[in-house]
């Protein structure tokens, strides 16, 4: 964006490494990054703060940026009336959590992105919304008029705002915790609640829009292995609808963020790393349970997409792909029959039926987003897919957000390691190992994690998600390929979790560390959302590590977290699937299997991973390993021998995989 003199605007975001903030560095808005300079300016000038939170691959963020933030007239009003702060929600989820919650209180509806919040100079929100157009439409006010009204209210009704602020702050604060131990009934209720919400026609557990909600599916995996046929059906049917539908990229692999319809047909076309890690693991689980090659194909294509488009040269994984290209959502992905016919010739009729191109158009401008209606193993279908994919690769690609986030990488490391060990794919395990090494080398400093990496810099204090997800990922990675340095690192991460995030009085974990920047609220939640709750994953991972190491500190922290959130868990168990899994393993120890022997003999045993419950911890350890922790330190005898231990007691050792009953 240029001003009237022809010079291009450059604002304070130009020096920020965040790709999202970089997208706004040429706006005529006098943007500040969140920090002391902007907050002190608001106090000094007694101006309200206009806080805009979004992320680089967000479609409606782009729309509002184009309509408002790139507009000279809108920017002039913003600059005159407010101190304007732009935040990348992926870098600062702490701020996003606070102000999304505030939006829900003020607007009395769920938030989203872009999030637009007006704050008093002391950071307390007094008005909130999401997307606003430049001029009134969609039953929304125009942004210029809205800003002028808000500035006038701030000038003339300060006492009212102060009174409201006290109410907002009181509502934002958590009520006192009522500690209670959840009972076993919540485990069954979770599955019953999912069954009540289950869409028997299209799969999933809601009406449109439909999100993947991997935490709920992971719970069903656990119950399916326990023999619950209802859980097995809900899991496999829902995943098949996702994989055959438009939520999955039928040409290039990988899952989109969510479906805008109830049939999983048309997605919001972003691809987020945090969805694809858990969904990769779930595809492997579904294949292990069913043997259906559809799920193996989806896993394979997702890993190919990850390697091809989302892996940095150093081994870490990029954050996301945009929904838009050439200014239009989905343009990179959709087709017309004429385009496909020109490429496929005589093969078109078969491919049209297989990809549902012979059905009515399902997207804008008489275009088609491909579904998988045919046999996924059809070689003719695969040949057509390759030709369409090669042609699509010549289109203008969506923007890629190349920051590397610790928590999202950890979710993918876990998914890769889990899928790799269940499906016997050592290359996938190696990808997971490289990414873990990247995080250790670039984002782990003096016993603390950084949250992200961009432009060669590790930045921002790690959040509880970073520590908990990484500990969980290392436990999965060590089951796929054990390295002593990973176990030492896992212990260091666990100790850092307890030292820097645990609520020593009430139990549970804060989202930010004890020495984090002071904000108007310090959040603490165990609700699983698009990503699992850090507190729930911390409890699960600490409980598991405690079993392996015979370390009571870790077990106690898990128990206190369950008790801390016990009332909430009893009220709505499916909102807390990470904690549910922790509770399930406390009630019935799924076991620790240790196989020790020559490396060449371990392969036959490792196939057990795909034939036994994923909740059973399995370690395959070479005779050459030394310095093993107590729970894994079994004698080397020159041949493969297995020990299965539960509740602190081990069954007699055995020498054949067929003799292991889990």
Is residue 412 within 8 Å of 367, Cβ to Cβ? no
Mean pLDDT score, 89-108: 96
* pLDDT tens for each residue of 50-89: 999 999 999 999 999 999 999 999 999 999 999 999 999 9
Mean pLDDT score, 214-224: 97
* pLDDT tens for each residue of 150-191: 999 999 999 999 999 999 999 998 777 777 888 889 999 999
Instruction: Please tell me the predicted confidence (pLDDT) of residue 208.
Output: 95
Mean pLDDT score, 232-249: 98
Q: What are phi and psi of 295, to 5 degrees?
A: -75, -35
Mean pLDDT score, 231-255: 98
Q: What is the largest distance, in Å, between two alpha-carbon atoms of the chain?
A: 83
Asked whether residue 298 carries a pLDDT value surpassing 90, the answer given is yes
- CATH for 12-172? 3.40.30.10
Task: Indicate the pLDDT class of residue 1, thresholds 50, 70 and 90.
Answer: low
* pLDDT tens for each residue of 378-421: 999 999 999 999 999 999 999 999 999 999 999 999 999 999 99
Q: Between these two residues, 295 and 646, which has the higher pLDDT value?
A: 295
Look at residue 27 and give its three-state secondary structure.
Answer: coil
Question: Residue 384 is inside which H or E element, if any?
Answer: helix 379-392
* pLDDT tens for each residue of 574-627: 999 999 999 999 998 889 999 999 998 998 888 888 888 888 999 999 999 998
Provide the residue ranges of all domains of the chain, joining segments of one domain with +.
12-172, 188-323+401-587, 333-394, 592-659
Provide the pairing of β-strand 400-401 with 328-329.
unpaired
* Neighbouring-strand partners of residue 115: 53
Give every CB contact of residue 351 below 8 A, 6+ residues apart in sequence: 340, 344, 357, 380, 381, 384, 388
What class is the 188-323+401-587 domain? Answer: mainly alpha
Question: Residue 594 is inside which H or E element, if any?
Answer: strand 592-597
Task: Give residue 251's Cα distance to chain centre.
Answer: 23
> pTM of whole model > 0.85?
yes
Angle at 471 between CA 468 and CA 475, to 5 degrees: 140
Token look-up 């108007």 returns 520
Tokens of 327: 């200014």
CA atoms within 13 A on the CB side of 216: 27
Is residue 506 within 8 Å of 564, Cβ to Cβ? yes
Preceding peptide of 379 cis, ω within 30°? no
């Amino acid at each position: 964006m240029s001003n009237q003199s022809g010079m291009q605007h450059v604002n304070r975001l130009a020096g920020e490494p965040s790709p999202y903030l970089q997208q706004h560095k040429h706006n005529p808005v006098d943007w500040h990054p969140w920090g002391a300079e902007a907050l002190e300016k608001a106090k000094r000038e007694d101006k309200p703060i206009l806080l805009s939170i979004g992320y680089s691959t967000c479609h409606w963020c782009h729309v509002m940026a184009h309509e408002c933030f790139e507009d000279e007239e809108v920017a002039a009003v913003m600059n005159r009336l407010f101190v304007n702060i732009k935040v990348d929600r992926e870098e600062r989820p702490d701020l996003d959590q606070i102000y999304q919650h505030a939006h829900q209180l003020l607007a009395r509806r769920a938030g989203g992105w872009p999030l637009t919040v007006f704050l008093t100079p002391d950071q307390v929100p007094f008005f909130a919304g999401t997307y606003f157009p430049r001029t009134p439409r969609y039953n929304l006010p125009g942004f210029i008029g809205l800003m002028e009204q808000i500035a006038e209210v701030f000038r003339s009704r300060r006492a009212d705002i102060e009174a409201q602020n006290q109410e907002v702050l009181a509502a934002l604060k958590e009520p006192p915790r009522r500690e209670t131990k959840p009972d076993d009934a919540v485990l069954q209720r979770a599955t019953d609640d999912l069954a009540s919400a289950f869409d028997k026609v299209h799969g999933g557990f809601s009406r449109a829009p439909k999100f993947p909600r991997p935490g709920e599916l992971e719970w069903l995996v656990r119950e399916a292995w326990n023999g619950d046929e209802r859980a097995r059906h809900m899991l496999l049917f829902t995943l098949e609808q996702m994989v055959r539908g438009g939520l999955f990229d039928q040409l290039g692999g990988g899952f989109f963020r969510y479906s805008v319809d109830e049939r999983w047909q048309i997605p919001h076309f972003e691809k987020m790393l945090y969805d694809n890690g858990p969904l990769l693991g779930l595809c492997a689980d579904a294949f292990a349970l069913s043997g259906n090659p559809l799920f193996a194909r989806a896993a394979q294509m997702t890993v190919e997409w990850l390697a091809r488009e989302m892996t940095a040269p150093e081994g870490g994984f990029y954050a996301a792909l945009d929904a838009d290209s050439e200014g239009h959502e989905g343009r990179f992905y959709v087709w017309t029959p004429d385009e496909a016919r020109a490429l496929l010739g005589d093969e078109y009729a078969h491919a049209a039926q297989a990809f549902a191109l012979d059905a009515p158009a399902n997207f804008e401008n008489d275009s088609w987003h491909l579904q998988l209606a045919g046999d996924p193993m059809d070689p003719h279908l695969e040949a057509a897919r390759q030709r369409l994919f090669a042609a699509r690769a010549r289109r203008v690609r969506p923007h890629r957000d190349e920051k590397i986030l610790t928590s999202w990488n950890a979710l993918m490391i876990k998914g890769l390691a889990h899928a790799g060990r269940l499906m016997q794919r050592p290359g996938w395990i190696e990808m997971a190992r490289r990414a873990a090494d990247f995080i250790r080398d670039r984002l782990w400093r003096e016993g603390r994690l950084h949250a992200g990496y961009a432009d060669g810099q590790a930045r921002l204090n790690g959040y509880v998600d970073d520590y908990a997800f990484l500990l969980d990922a290392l436990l999965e990675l060590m089951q796929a390929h054990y390295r002593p340095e990973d176990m030492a690192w896992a212990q260091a991460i666990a100790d850092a979790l307890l030292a820097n995030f645990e609520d020593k009085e009430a139990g549970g974990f804060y989202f930010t560390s004890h020495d984090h920047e002071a904000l108007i609220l310090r959040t603490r939640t165990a609700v699983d959302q698009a990503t699992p709750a850090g507190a729930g994953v911390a409890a699960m991972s600490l409980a598991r590590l405690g079993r392996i190491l015979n370390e009571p500190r870790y077990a106690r922290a898990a128990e206190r977290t369950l008790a801390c959130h016990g009332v909430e868990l009893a009220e709505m168990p499916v909102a807390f699937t990470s904690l549910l899994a922790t509770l399930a393993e406390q009630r019935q120890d799924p076991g620790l299997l240790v196989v020790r022997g020559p490396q060449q003999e371990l392969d036959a045993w490792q196939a057990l991973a795909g034939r036994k419950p994923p909740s059973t911890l399995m370690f395959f350890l070479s005779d050459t390993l030394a310095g093993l922790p107590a729970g894994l330190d079994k004698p080397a005898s020159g041949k493969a021998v297995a020990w299965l231990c539960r509740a602190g007691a081990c069954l007699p050792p055995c020498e054949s995989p067929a003799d292991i009953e889990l």
